[in-house]
Amino acid sequence: MGGYRAPLREIQFWLGLQTRSGGAPLNDGAVLSDADVSAVLEEAARMAEELLDPLYRLADEQGAALVDGRVRLPPQIKAAYSQFIEAGWVGLPADPEYGGQGLGHVLATAVNEIWKSANLAFSLCPMLTQGAIEAVHRHGSDNLRRRFLPKMISGAWTGTMNLTESHAGSDLGALRTTAVREGDHYRLKGRKIFITWGDHDLAENIIHLVLARVPDSPPGVHGISMFVVPKILVAEDGSLGENNEITTASVEAKLGIHGSPTCVLNYGDDKGAIAYLVGEENRGLSYMFTMMNSARLAVGVEGLAMAERAYQQALAYSFERVQGSRPWADEPVAIFEHPDVRRMLMFMRAGTDAMRALSYAAAADLDAGAAGSINAPKALDRISVLTPIVKGWCTELGQELVSIGLQVHGGAGYIEETGAAQIFRDVRITTIYEGTTGIQANDLIGRKLISDGGTAVNALLDDVERCLAALDSTPDRLVATRVALRRGLEAARDVVAAVLEGHEADPNLAGATAVNFLMLMGTLLGGWQLALGAGFATMQLDAGDAGRPFLEGKLVTSEFFAEHFMPRIEAYRASAIAGSRTVMGLTREQLERS
């Protein structure tokens, strides 16, 4: 079975849809040429295929281990990380003032997809570092930026996000970690769990972003502050000093991503770990959302990336595995020839196309919002709606498609030897970490729909309607896509109206409806993006582009998605409109099995 190969033509097609003016945006508003974009992607593909993919299985089998209080990774992983940072990949989207390359989010998202498909566990380390860089850059003082960012951007130091405590889980308002001011710093004490890449031996230092409470802080989420807590103390001139008061209590034994150490960290067993306040006291959760939203979009891309890897493996297996015969002939054939296997492969192909298109569209909105142009406010409103959808829908669909990939293998998929089982185990976490699907759905329906009376959501639905109007002007093409989009748009409007009308009378309505609404929106917006892609392909076909089979495939894929995915929207609508009556209808005693 062959390894992962970066689907560069696919990636460049969907990048092209988002950057039709040519090239890709940079953080300073300039544009990287198409030739430079291709060069970046080709080099990322080379490193993914030659360096990271060969370590995918090794990382799973050997994993991370806690030895004498320090997390150790296989030496091959450490060597790969050295090559990775030497090539400057961590700082791809970071500010050039501190050593970054200043590339925009849309190209960085495409590159990150490649890393995640090649080796998900490895990719989590630079992903979190990039999120920590963005949070410190946006909210930290000049001193913090100068002291920490250059080494983090180079990859010499890595970053983490420290939110969760065992008694609180996702309820951050219940956290108990404390921080007390001491001169120009604080002393921080507490225990954090589920810290991805919380300790390791790949880099010379680890910079933790930690949520904690200062004395006399307000209760709940309004009393949370954010701190930079280095594993090894850093002097004003950037040189390393003595170890901070941080110990690794354990490394979790997990279902998947074994090459990514998930740690329990103790802060301040004696005097307290030295910590530096980011921004102002009691505003830490809003600062941390910079990193959290970055991570949520990145985890959505993980659903896509794992589905892409599973698709490539399932497709290759379907070409090689000879079993059964055609209905009209007796000779044995590869299972690729069987209609049901084709159906599964098309599900995987259309689903990955839709996730890629939607993820890149969200990244393009990040770039547009950062550019400060006349369209920036609309882009920022749109990305606020798209973030929970990309995170929630892409990971839920990613799990479904990876499961289908295992099914293509039949019994061989359930055996570790083929590698399909590892992808299945690895993708399972994506709907859980960085906020479960339920948390994303509650964010979408509460903060993004109800809180503004549906303004931002309806503006996004208006964009879908404009696409539908354009399709109506080409009646001979994309018939199924046009019909499915119209029905899906009507269903979405129905649910929006029902929630806005009924949530005050029924306090359980939003929570009972939320996941179905998120899945409806994800499916509709995935179909919308595929329709835009089909239109983009049609333009190239009409211009006589030589890549006709590839471009015609985009039209077929859009129609398949319309026929096989978008009918789900009616089911989501029906469940959402049904409200909370039966969801909350049984008592605790009735729920228990007698």
The verdict on residue 287 lying in a domain is: no
Range of the domain at 538: 436-584
The verdict on residue 555 lying in a domain is: yes
Q: How far is CA 318 from the centre of its chain?
A: 28
pTM here is 0.96
Q: Tell me the average pLDDT across 487-494.
A: 98
As a whole number, the mean pLDDT across the chain is 95
pLDDT for 260: 98
Residues 344, 404 contacting (CB under 8 angstroms): yes
Report the C-alpha gap between 511 and 439 in whole angstroms.
10
Task: Judge whether residue 34 has pLDDT over 60.
Answer: yes
- Give which of 470, 469, 497, 468 is closest to 485, Cα–Cα: 468
Candidates 165, 245, 281, 434; catalytic one: 434
3-class secondary-structure state, position 322:
strand
Type of residue numbered 395: T
pLDDT for 459: 96
The verdict on residue 459 lying in a domain is: yes
Q: Tell me the average pLDDT across 401-424.
A: 97
The verdict on residue 4 lying in a domain is: no
The verdict on residue 489 lying in a domain is: yes
Q: Tell me the average pLDDT across 70-87.
A: 97
What lies within 8 Å, CB to CB, of 332 at 6+ separation is 322, 323, 324, 325
3-class secondary-structure state, position 365:
helix
Report the C-alpha gap between 164 and 281 in whole angstroms.
19
Assigned token pair, 544: 């006589």
Task: Please return the burial class of 74, using the count of CB atoms within 10 Å of its CB with bins 0-12, 13-18 and 19+.
Answer: middle
Q: In the structure, what pLDDT confidence band is assigned to residue 28 with cuts at 50, 70 and 90?
A: confident
Residue 434 annotated to the active site: yes
Give the CA angle between residues 190, 196, 197 to the nearest 5°: 100
Number of domains in the chain: 1
**Helices and strands, counts by H and E, the chain:** 18, 16
Residues 126, 90 contacting (CB under 8 angstroms): yes
Report the C-alpha gap between 208 and 502 in whole angstroms.
43
User: What is the phi/psi pair of residue 159, to 5°?
Assistant: -125, 155
The verdict on residue 261 lying in a domain is: no
Q: In the structure, what pLDDT confidence band is assigned to residue 2 with cuts at 50, 70 and 90?
A: low
pLDDT for 324: 85
- Tens digits of residue pLDDT in 507-532: 999 999 999 999 999 999 999 999 99
Task: Judge whether residue 544 has pLDDT over 90.
Answer: no
Report the C-alpha gap between 245 and 555 in whole angstroms.
58
Task: Judge whether residue 22 has pLDDT over 70.
Answer: no
The verdict on residue 330 lying in a domain is: no
Q: Tell me the average pLDDT across 375-380.
A: 89
Residue corresponding to tokens 């990309």: 390
pLDDT over 90 percentage in the chain: 89
Task: Judge whether residue 38 has pLDDT over 60.
Answer: yes
- Tens digits of residue pLDDT in 108-134: 999 999 999 999 999 999 999 999 999
pLDDT for 431: 98
Task: Judge whether residue 404 has pLDDT over 70.
Answer: yes
Residues 100, 93 contacting (CB under 8 angstroms): yes
CA distances from 567 to 395, 467, 480, 518, 561 (A): 20, 19, 11, 15, 9
The verdict on residue 182 lying in a domain is: no
Task: Judge whether residue 1 has pLDDT over 90.
Answer: no
- Tens digits of residue pLDDT in 147-203: 999 999 999 999 999 999 999 888 899 999 999 999 999 999 999 999 999 999 999
Helix (H) or strand (E) holding 572: helix 568-578
- Give me the DSSP letters along 384-399: HHHHHHHHHHHHHHHH
- Tens digits of residue pLDDT in 442-485: 999 999 999 999 999 999 999 999 999 888 776 577 899 999 99
Report the C-alpha gap between 112 and 295 in whole angstroms.
12
